[in-house]
């Protein structure tokens, strides 16, 4: 009898109650449910299996385009043909906007913050602190800091670094990295792996390190271990002394001599005790001129010119002159040449320390009116007695 009634109802296109439980009535329709309904009714489209419920007197589909659809024995999916609302039950945004990166906000409610967390899907860019990322990843704040932190004990190793590279044969090819890419230590490395390492500005590489280990300054093709091109200036290159011999340099201009004119001397270095002087060399770059400069009135040596001290050849201001070391006489003059093309120079131990200076006999000389002149004076020193005092000007 039930089968007959169901067949007649389907043929006539009428709804027929098929089940009732409590205050709910389920109706079976041959197609989309029609007509008015009460809130206690549920309708089924027998042709498609779609389920409808009564919503304010009208039938509302529960299915792929209506809201809820069964996806398995114990699962259901939500669908919507309109905007998916967020913040239900809370204070979140009313709806997603293009580029939203949704996260759990206050009280666990879904929310968004497009001004500070944004995904540009058309160009595949992520913005943190900006809604307009111009690069693949852009971080923007008043004091942006990106931290790369390893969970290991930093005293042991970190292996935290940033890799650079491309794709070769569908696999990653690392061209270089910045950071600590080694296990067992905490060294920080800046390393190129496929090609050269360049350090410089946007115009040209000012320093380049080739893969073979050559270093170039002012050239992109260093042919030796260290290749520096262009003009260089060593301006007072003094530092702490050690047992390793080293050159220290002073550049003297005519203005320095003008300042020292009242005392007729110009101090080059104040050396600490136990300093060994291996050699002294002076080269005049530009000859002194102006006033009534005399080329034969100045020398370089130990202050006051004691016997067995140091002195250089005269004619200190002659352009291009290269000077060699002499011993000094008690009166401050020069004695035997200690180092030349044929003689070996015995290093001079500055036991008590003292001043190395330019000494001038200004009788008939007026270098205060000099208008040009520059000399470079170098001494080769060491401290074999391990005195680490720094030499002073």
- The pLDDT of residue 13 is 45
129/150 Cα distance (integer angstroms) = 25
Highest-pLDDT range among 26-35, 177-186, 188-197, 349-358 = 188-197
Average pLDDT of the residues in 45-70: 69
Q: Where are the domains of the chain?
A: 2-78, 103-139, 161-228, 246-382
Residue 68 forms beta bridges with which residues?
Answer: 78
Contacts of 19 (CB under 8 A, 6+ apart): 25, 26
Under the banding of pLDDT at 50, 70 and 90, the label for residue 235 is very low
- The pLDDT of residue 137 is 93
- The pLDDT of residue 312 is 45
**End-to-end CA, the chain:** 121
Q: What is the pTM of this model?
A: 0.41
Q: What DSSP string describes 214-259?
A: -EEES-S---SSEEE-S---------B--SS-EEEEEEEEHHHHHH
- The model's pLDDT over 210-222, given as tens digits with 9 standing for 90+, comes to 878 888 888 888 8
Highest-pLDDT range among 138-142, 218-222, 279-283 = 138-142
| Higher pLDDT pick, 91 / 280 | 280
- The pLDDT of residue 257 is 59
Weakest-pLDDT range from 46-55, 251-260, 287-296: 287-296
Contacts of 77 (CB under 8 A, 6+ apart): 68, 69, 71
Weakest-pLDDT range from 33-47, 52-66, 94-108, 283-297: 283-297
């Amino acid at each position: 009898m039930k089968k007959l009634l169901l067949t007649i109802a389907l043929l006539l296109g009428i709804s027929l109650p098929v089940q009732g439980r409590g205050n709910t009535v389920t109706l079976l329709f041959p197609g989309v449910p029609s007509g008015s309904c009460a809130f206690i009714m549920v309708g089924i489209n027998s042709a498609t299996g779609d389920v409808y419920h009564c919503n304010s007197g009208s039938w509302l589909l529960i299915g792929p385009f209506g809201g809820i659809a069964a996806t398995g024995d114990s699962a259901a999916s939500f669908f919507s043909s309109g905007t998916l609302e967020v913040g239900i039950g809370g204070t979140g945004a009313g709806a997603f906007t293009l580029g939203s990166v949704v996260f759990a906000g206050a009280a666990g409610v879904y929310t968004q913050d497009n001004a500070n967390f944004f995904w540009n899907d058309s160009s595949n860019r992520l913005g943190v602190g900006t809604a307009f990322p111009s690069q693949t990843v852009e971080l923007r704040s008043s004091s942006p800091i990106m931290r790369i932190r390893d969970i290991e004990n930093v005293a042991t190793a970190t292996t935290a670094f940033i890799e650079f590279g491309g794709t070769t044969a569908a696999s990653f090819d690392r061209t270089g990295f910045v950071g600590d890419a080694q296990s067992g230590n905490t060294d920080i490395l800046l390393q190129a792996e496929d090609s050269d390492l360049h350090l410089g500005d946007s115009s040209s590489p000012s320093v380049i390190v080739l893969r073979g280990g050559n270093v170039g300054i002012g050239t992109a093709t260093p042919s030796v271990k260290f290749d520096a091109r262009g003009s260089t200036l060593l301006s007072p290159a003094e530092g702490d002394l050690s047992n390793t011999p080293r050159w220290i340099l002073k550049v003297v201009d005519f203005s320095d001599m003008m300042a020292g004119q009242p005392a007729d001397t110009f101090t080059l270095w104040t050396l600490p005790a136990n300093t060994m002087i291996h050699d002294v060399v002076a080269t005049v770059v530009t000859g002194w001129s102006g006033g009534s400069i005399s080329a034969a009135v100045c020398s370089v040596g130990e202050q006051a010119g004691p016997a067995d001290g140091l002195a250089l050849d005269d004619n200190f201001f002659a352009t291009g002159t290269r000077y060699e070391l002499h011993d000094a006489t008690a009166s401050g003059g020069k004695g035997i040449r200690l180092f030349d093309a044929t003689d070996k120079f015995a290093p001079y131990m500055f036991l008590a320390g003292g001043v190395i200076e330019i000494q001038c006999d200004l009788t008939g000389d007026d270098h205060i009116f000099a208008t040009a002149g520059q000399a470079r004076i170098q001494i080769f020193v060491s401290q074999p007695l391990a005195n680490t005092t720094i030499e002073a000007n």
